[in-house]
Structure 1
Amino acid sequence: MSIRLPSTAASEEAPSMSADPAVHELRPEERFVDSVAQLTLHRDIDALDHSLTLSLAELLRARHVLLYKCMGDDGVMESWVSCRQMEAGHYAVRPALPVETAAWQTRLRACQDGQRPGHSAGADGYHYVWTPIHKDGLVAGALMVEGGEPFDAISKVLDGFSRIYSNYVSLIREAERDKLTGLFNRSTLDRQLQRLLERVGLTHQGVAPERLWLAILDIDHFKRVNDTYGHLYGDEVILWLAQQLRSSFPAPNALFRFGGEEFVALLLGPDEAGVETMLERFRARMAAHVFSQIGTVTVSIGFVEVSTAGFSTQALDLADKALYYAKKHGRNQVRSYQGLIHAGALDGGVMSGSVDLF
C-alpha cells in the first residue's frame, strides 16, 4: 500500500497550519525524502527522538507529536518527548512534562500493550492518530500525532516513520553497545555523562537533589582466570557480572564495558555514603557467587563524584586512582576518591585527565 502524503495546500476543512517555510515549499514527495534524510542524520538516540517528532510535525503540519518509550533493560522507566507547535508556526521539542502527557498516557500505554494503532477525531477538526513502535520484534513504545490532515494520510505516514525509526534505533544500539554484554561501549561515555548531568540539573542549575558518580569496576586476577580455564570461562564471568550490574543499577544509571575485565558505571545517588553502600552491596554479591568451574571471583571498585567542572577523562582518572589504591591494598574492596583524600591516603593535587576514551 502506497503512502499518500498531505498536499502542499491546506485543506479547507482543516485548521491552517504553518511550520518551517522551507519544508513546506517542497513538493510532498520531496518533503518526505527530506524528512527521512533529517531523521537518519543522527547517531545517538536522544537526537533521533528529537528529529523524529520534529520531522513528523513539519511533514504533517501537526499541532502536537508525542513519543512514548519504555527504556532500560527491564522496560520499567518511561520516556516522553513532545513536539508542540508554538506561535508563528515554529515548533518546540523537549522532554514532555507529566501534565502534558496526562491525557494521553493511558491511551499510548494501551496502544503499546495492544500492539495496534488507533485514532479519534476532535470537535475542532483535528485528528488524533497513534501507532506502536517496535524494537527487536517487541513493542517498545508508541507515537501520537494531533493534526489537521485527513486521518488516512496521517496514519500511513506515521506507520512508515515508526518503522524507519525502529530500524534505525536498532542500528544505533548495535553501534553503541558492547557485543558480548550489551552494555554501552566506551565511545558513548561523554554523551551519557552529559545526559545524566542534565538530568540532575548540575549543568544549568548549580545544586541539585541528585548527584552523579563515576565508578570503575575491575575483576581481580582476571588474566589468571583466562590463562587457567580459558576465555570461555572468562566470558562466563563477564556476562554474569554484566547481568548483576543491570539488576543492581537499573536505568537511568548508565553502565559500560570498557574492554577486557574493566567496567564503568555512571550512578545517581544523594551522597557518598549511599553510593558506597550500593557499590559495597554489589561487591559482596560478586564475592559470594560460586562459579561451577572456577570458584569465586572478586572485583575491586574505585569511585568519584562528577562535578560540573570535571570532564569524563578527569573523572576516570580520579576513579582510577581510587581503584588502584583498592588493588594495591588487598583487592576485593570499594574505595572512594574523596574518602581517600580526606583520610590522607591520596594526594589531592590537580590531575590532568589522560585516559583515552576512544
Structure 2
Amino acid sequence: MGSLLEHLVEITGHRDHDLLDISVMTALLNMVGVTEARVMELFQSRGELFVRPRVWISGGKVQTVDEESSSDHAGEPIVSFPALVTCIAQRKNRLEEAREDGRHILWIPIWQNDKVSTCLEIAHTQPFTAQMLQVMEGILSVYRNYQSLLDYSERDSLTGLLNRKTFDEKFARMLNSKQAEPASHDVEDRRHHADVKSQWLAVIDIDHFKRVNDTFGHLYGDEVLILVANILRTSFRAQDRVFRFGGEEFVVLLRSATLADAQMVFERFRSNIEQNPFPQVGQITVSIGFASISQETPVVILGHADQALYYAKDHGRNQVCYYDELLALGLLHVGKKTESVEFFFDEPTAG
C-alpha cells in the first residue's frame, strides 16, 4: 500500500484530465480499499442534466472509457440518482447513501465556482469510517484544486469544451494509441474496408454565423455557441473528444467506429442542430467535413477534413461530406487545393 504522500505527488504530477482521474481512482483503491468507484461528468442536453462515467474501479482495477471503447456510455438522467440530486441541491460536499443491498454509496460533487461538472461515486460494503473520510478528503482536496487548474488551461471559457491548445496533445495521443497498419493511398482499397473500425476527425462550422452576430448581437451569438456545444456533448460518446477551435468552428475526434457509423453519427448531429429551436435566432444549420485518421501527419489529416468542409459550404451548406468519397467521385483532387490547406495549418507549428 503506497503512502498518501506518494499518491499526492502522483496526482499533482499530471497536466491532463484523464490521467488526473486515473490517479485519484488509484489512490482511492490503494489508500482506502475502495472496490467500486466512478468519476462521473455532468452535462446538459435539451434542458435536462445527465451523468456518465469517465473513469471507474471495477474488480480491483482502474478502467477508462478508452479501454471500453465498444460501449457508448451515453449517460443517464441525473434524476436516476436521487441522492446525488439531493447532495447538489443542498450544496453539500458529500452525502452518504445506504442502499437496500447493504452497500454504502458516498456521493462527492466537485464544486468549481458554485457549479458541479464532475462528481465521484464511491461504494463500500460497510459505513464509511471517520478515518476513511479523512483520507479521502485529503486526496480529493488536491484533486479538486488540480482539476480547477486543468479546466482553466484546457477548456474554452465560453462553451466548456476542450480548447484548440489541447487538441494537439489529444490528437497525438490518439495517433500513438492507434494500432499500426500499412498506410493506404488507394481510395478503392479503403472503401472495401468500410466495415473496419477506425478513428475519424471532423471539422464542424456553423453556417452563416456572422449573420447571427450582425442581426441579433454577440450575446445571442454566444448563446448559439453554448447550445451547439451542449448538443455536441450529447451527440458523441465519452471516449470521443470535442473541441472548440475558435469562433464558430469545432473539431471532433471520433474513436473506434466504422465508416457507416461515423457517417450516421455526424449526420445525426447535423440533423439535431437543424431541428433544435434556438431562442430568438430560430433555425441554425452546420456544415461538416470529415476524414479518416490514417498514418499521415496530423496536418494532412486536418487538411483533408477541412477541405471536405469547404466543399460542403461551397455546395449548399447544411450537409456532411467525407473526404475520400469526394476524391472517389472526382469532386476533389489531390495536389491542388489540398496543398494550400496543408500549408495553412502547418505554418503555426513552424514558428
User: Normalization by structure 2: what TM-score?
Assistant: 0.67
- Cα offset for 1:117? 6.2
Corresponding residue to 2:55 among 72, 75, 79: 79
- Cα offset for 1:57? 7.6
Structure 1's 195 and 320: CA in aligned 2 closer, same or farther, altered over 3 A?
same
Structure 1's 240 and 51: CA in aligned 2 closer, same or farther, altered over 3 A?
closer
Corresponding residue to 1:313 among 286, 290, 299: 299
1:101 corresponds in structure 2 to: none
Are the aligned partners of 1:313 and 1:354 in contact in 2 as well (CA < 8 Å)?
no
Corresponding residue to 1:245 among 222, 229, 232: 232
Are the aligned partners of 2:106 and 2:122 in contact in 1 as well (CA < 8 Å)?
yes
1:33-72 mapped onto 2 (5 Å cutoff): 35-52=7-24, 68-71=38-41
- Residues 330-339 or 184-193, more deviating: 184-193
Corresponding residue to 2:210 among 223, 230, 233: 223
- Cα offset for 1:242? 1.5
- Residues 159-168 or 284-293, more deviating: 284-293
Corresponding residue to 1:331 among 307, 317, 328: 317
Are the aligned partners of 1:133 and 1:140 in contact in 2 as well (CA < 8 Å)?
yes
Aligned: 1:168 with 2:142: no
Aligned: 1:302 with 2:289: yes
Percent of residue pairs bearing the same amino acid type: 37
Structure 1's 63 and 242: CA in aligned 2 closer, same or farther, altered over 3 A?
closer
Are the aligned partners of 1:301 and 1:326 in contact in 2 as well (CA < 8 Å)?
yes
- Cα offset for 1:217? 0.8
1:146-161 mapped onto 2 (5 Å cutoff): 155-161=133-139
Distance 2:146 2:199 in 1: 30
1:1-358 mapped onto 2 (5 Å cutoff): 32=5, 35-52=7-24, 68-71=38-41, 73=43, 74-80=50-56, 115-116=94-95, 132-136=107-111, 140-142=119-121, 155-194=133-172, 196=174, 202-203=178-179, 210-268=197-255, 270-307=257-294, 309-349=295-335, 352=342, 354-355=344-345, 356=348
Per-residue CA deviations over 1:315-338 (Å, capped at 9, x if unaligned) read 221100111111222222211011
Structure 1's 192 and 230: CA in aligned 2 closer, same or farther, altered over 3 A?
same
Distance 1:270 1:228 in 2: 39
- Cα offset for 1:55? 5.9
- State the aligned residue count: 297
Are the aligned partners of 1:189 and 1:312 in contact in 2 as well (CA < 8 Å)?
no
SS at match of 1:304: strand
Structure 1's 250 and 353: CA in aligned 2 closer, same or farther, altered over 3 A?
farther
Structure 1's 142 and 340: CA in aligned 2 closer, same or farther, altered over 3 A?
same
Amino acid at match of 2:40: C
SS at match of 2:307: helix
- Residues 242-251 or 205-214, more deviating: 205-214
Distance 2:318 2:136 in 1: 52
Distance 2:180 2:344 in 1: 27
Are the aligned partners of 1:112 and 1:141 in contact in 2 as well (CA < 8 Å)?
no
Distance 2:82 2:317 in 1: 49
Distance 1:274 1:57 in 2: 36
Are the aligned partners of 2:204 and 2:251 in contact in 1 as well (CA < 8 Å)?
yes
Per-residue CA deviations over 1:190-233 (Å, capped at 9, x if unaligned) read 333355567xx624689996421111111122112212221122
Are the aligned partners of 1:111 and 1:131 in contact in 2 as well (CA < 8 Å)?
no
- Residues 132-141 or 296-305, more deviating: 132-141
SS at match of 2:51: coil
SS at match of 2:313: helix
Structure 1's 236 and 153: CA in aligned 2 closer, same or farther, altered over 3 A?
closer
1:122 corresponds in structure 2 to: none
Are the aligned partners of 1:269 and 1:275 in contact in 2 as well (CA < 8 Å)?
no
Distance 2:170 2:150 in 1: 14
Amino acid at match of 2:136: L
Are the aligned partners of 2:27 and 2:139 in contact in 1 as well (CA < 8 Å)?
no
Higher relative CO (Cα under 8 Å, sequence separation at least 6) belongs to 2
Structure 1's 64 and 332: CA in aligned 2 closer, same or farther, altered over 3 A?
closer
Amino acid at match of 1:285: N
Structure 1's 116 and 241: CA in aligned 2 closer, same or farther, altered over 3 A?
closer
**Stretches of structure 1 lacking an aligned partner (at least 5 in a row):** 1-16, 24-30, 85-91, 99-108, 119-128, 146-150
Aligned-pair Cα RMSD in Å: 4.2
Structure 1's 159 and 131: CA in aligned 2 closer, same or farther, altered over 3 A?
farther
Structure 1's 316 and 72: CA in aligned 2 closer, same or farther, altered over 3 A?
farther
Are the aligned partners of 1:72 and 1:252 in contact in 2 as well (CA < 8 Å)?
no
- Residues 179-188 or 291-300, more deviating: 291-300
Amino acid at match of 1:49: D
Per-residue CA deviations over 1:56-109 (Å, capped at 9, x if unaligned) read 788x5x88887521246332235225898xxxxxxx9775999xxxxxxxxxx9
Are the aligned partners of 1:53 and 1:65 in contact in 2 as well (CA < 8 Å)?
no
SS at match of 1:335: strand
